[in-house]
Amino acid sequence: MATFLCKLGRLAFRRRRIVALVWVALLVAAGVGASTASTPPDDDFALPGTEAQRAFDLLEERFPDTHAEGATARMVFRAPTGEKITATRNKEAVRETVRELGGGQAAQVSDPFEGGGAISKDGSIAYTSVTYKAPAQDLTDATREGIEDAAQQARDAGLTVETGGDALLTEPDMGNAEIIGIAVAAIVLILTFGSLIAAGLPLVTALIGVMIGISGIAALGATLGLSANTSTLAMMIGLAVGIDYALFIASRYRAELSEGRAREEAAGRAVGTAGSAVVFAGLTVVIALAGLSVVNIPVLTKMGLAAAGTVVIAVLVALTLVPAALGLVGKRIFGRRVRKANPLTGAPPAAGAAGERPKAGARWAGFVLRRPVLVLVTTVLALGALAVPVGSMKLGLPDEGNQPESTTQRKAYDLLSDGFGPGFNGPLTGVADTRGAEDAPAALAEITKRLERVDGVAAVTPATPNKAGDTATFTAVPEYGPSDARTEDVVHAIRGQAGEIERETGVKLLVSGSTAVAIDFSQVMNDALIPYLALVVGLAFLLLMLVFRSVLVPLKAALGFLLSVLAALGSVVAVFQWGWAASLLGVEQTGPIMSMMPIFMVGVIFGLAMDYEVFLVSRMREAYVHGEGPGAAVISGFRLGARVVSAAAVIMISVFAGFVGASEPMIKMMGFGLAVAILFDAFVVRMALVPAVLGLLGRRAWWLPRRLDRLLPNVDVEGERLRQRLGDGQPGPAPHIPAQRRPEHTRV
């Protein structure tokens, strides 16, 4: 592979203008396709195979006029202190507001003074529910402004008015994440390369790749069913790996120039060696993202595949556009001071020259190799301690009770809890299929009585049949809030009676509603986590075994990743569930951890962690294969790769940490979790645990059973065949080791 990629890199370098024009043409074509494409579809947030989804599908089929997919709003009114909401003046103000909410996109508006149940027992609070003909994302600005104007009109009449529901849903404030991330990336790249041109090259090439990927998603959105939100993960991951890959190849190119290579040869060697690591690092990310399809949730599958496609583009950009760009910038890949000091070559002398002080990475590796047991034990204990909170992690979906206390959604949530009980914010929707019942009205009455006797059920509304009389709905209000673990017990208790109810009455009972959906979603995530981990880690283990021709190195990589992701999840639990240091991060409300957080973090962090593993350890493997001893190879890997890995990690931490400033709790949680996970993996696992384990293993780290050695193809990531082809000569003889432990350079 190294030989092929070397040829590709040299070709891209020689034909740099043509290559650059091809990528610009692709960018323009993707942009034109995106601008002329049909409107992308909405997210299909389905949960195939779950009871909540079956109930929702039955409602869609048997109650077509209920607008089950339409947006909803719930406006809550509280009378002035000492007054009743039913007082003449207050009642007229509420009814005037109800009239204002009707019309336009509204399909149905309830009158709280008709039908009962919409006024609190003390008479101080009432609410009206609005169902719209269109989903939340399709509501017009006029409709949203109408909701706010109606609420203000009631406030002017002296009432306290707050509004909940998804009708007022707006795009979450992401803070200045992108600006912060790009600014920090530019600063880090300038410090790493000492040249504005060299710093800008990874940013520009990464942005080109991301824009092509995002435009491609938009262009194919209507055809492949990709919503506008599908590109969110693709943008985040594509930018991350795009910068990483370009940074790694540009850094290797500079190192080759410092060795005295001609520019074209340096570009070829950089792509042949560093490019091989990029290919396999990219494959691990693709595996992690494409593996999200195991979860069997369509929206996650589409997000994962779209992001995986963007990563493939980032790899192709790194292998072709980056060497072309290196050819275009010429000697300016180094700073002016370096070029002035070395006018003939434009490059500094090779690192490690006589009398030169060892780099910080090499000094750190030497320290770890002198005290491997101490470093290993300290690292494992520290990460293990941070992972302890995972044992008490509670999963769920965020609701309006998790919104900041200053929002009208949260205030409406609290008013409903005060007036009607905490379970009123998460009612359960029962759907009864009565086609098999001999006496449907009697059967429904019996079901209602049974559910009223279930522990934890506060109230059950009478069943409401559809026009055909073959299906009915009812509402069961729990005694506890939507996020309360006891509410989940109530849902399971109701569902547990469904079999007996069907046998006795012939009615098929299903339970849905937002609370039941959240419970089913969490269960789907829990059930998928182990298979997903097994698939992703298993495939990546095989891939890394192919790259490093070792059994223990991939095993160490996988175990190190698990440590870092568990420590990151523990930190998320400590902050967002336990409330530790929550005020410092602007977390106003603690609660359950978002259900998709564990799988999301596993997928994203695994891909990036394996990037750092491949970048760092491939340098060690290369040095070992070329004749260095195990300890010296570790030091060489840190001397040549630690700075690049550290720079890439700092950039990613900054990008993710920028999302902590978002107002949306879910975005804040994701940003914090990803930032601390990268911090732990790059600077604790890869920089401390990896050299400590390799130091303890010695030559055994590169051991591969002889039979497996013959079965695995030699992909030559370390570039040994490339060195021989380019006439570098044979590497020095390796010290004598048993045949099954001899490094791969004995097989060429």
Pairing of strands 160-164, 428-433: unpaired
Neighbours of 173 (CB within 10 A): 11
Residue 92: predicted pLDDT: 94
- The dihedral region occupied by 421, where left means phi > 0, alpha psi between -120 and 50, and beta the remainder, is left
Cβ neighbors of 12 (< 8 A, separation 6 or more) are: 19, 267, 271, 319, 320, 321, 323, 324, 327
Residue 304: predicted pLDDT: 87
Would you say 629 and 735 are in contact if contact means Cβ atoms under 8 Å apart? Answer: yes
Cα–Cα distance between 397 and 280 in angstroms, integer?
A: 35
Cα–Cα distance between 193 and 188 in angstroms, integer?
A: 9
Cα–Cα distance between 432 and 502 in angstroms, integer?
A: 10
- Ordered DSSP codes for 636-705: HHHHHHHHHHHHHHHHHHHHHHHGGG-SSHHHHHHHHHHHHHHHHIIIIIIIIIHHHHHHHHGGGGG---
- State the DSSP code for 172: -
Pairing of strands 471-478, 428-433: antiparallel
Q: Which residues of 386-421 are buried (b: 16+ CB within 10 A; e: fewer)?
A: bbebbeebebbbbbbbbbeeebbbbbbbbbbebbbb
172 class by beta-carbon count within 10 Å (0-12 exposed, 13-18 middle, 19+ buried):
middle
Residue 737: predicted pLDDT: 34
Name the residue with tokens 């949530």: 413
Cβ neighbors of 402 (< 8 A, separation 6 or more) are: 483, 589, 591, 665
Would you say 176 and 661 are in contact if contact means Cβ atoms under 8 Å apart? Answer: yes
Among 249, 182, 239, smallest CA distance to 214 is for 239
Write the pLDDT tens digit of every residue in 336-381: 777 676 665 566 666 554 445 567 888 999 999 999 999 999 999 9
H/E stretch holding 52: helix 51-62
Residue 399: predicted pLDDT: 79
Residues of the chain with pLDDT under 70: 39-44, 65-69, 115-116, 170-181, 227-229, 335, 339, 341-358, 663, 716-748
Residue 351: predicted pLDDT: 55
End-to-end CA distance of the chain: 13
Q: Break the chain down into helix, strand, coil percent, rounded to 5.
A: 65, 5, 25
Would you say 243 and 645 are in contact if contact means Cβ atoms under 8 Å apart? Answer: no
Helix, strand, or coil here: 627? coil
Q: How far is CA 412 from CA 154, 180, 425, 483, in A?
A: 14, 34, 10, 16
φ, ψ for residue 522 (rounded to 5)? -60, -40
Pairing of strands 395-396, 428-433: unpaired
Write the pLDDT tens digit of every residue in 485-524: 899 999 999 999 999 999 999 999 999 988 899 899 888 8
Residue 237: predicted pLDDT: 82
Would you say 602 and 530 are in contact if contact means Cβ atoms under 8 Å apart? Answer: no
Cα–Cα distance between 622 and 722 in angstroms, integer?
A: 12
Neighbours of 527 (CB within 10 A): 12
Q: How far is CA 78 from CA 130, 157, 232, in A?
A: 18, 11, 40
Token pair in block for residue 564: 């870092």
Helix, strand, or coil here: 174? coil
Cα–Cα distance between 214 and 233 in angstroms, integer?
A: 10
Token pair in block for residue 138: 């399709």
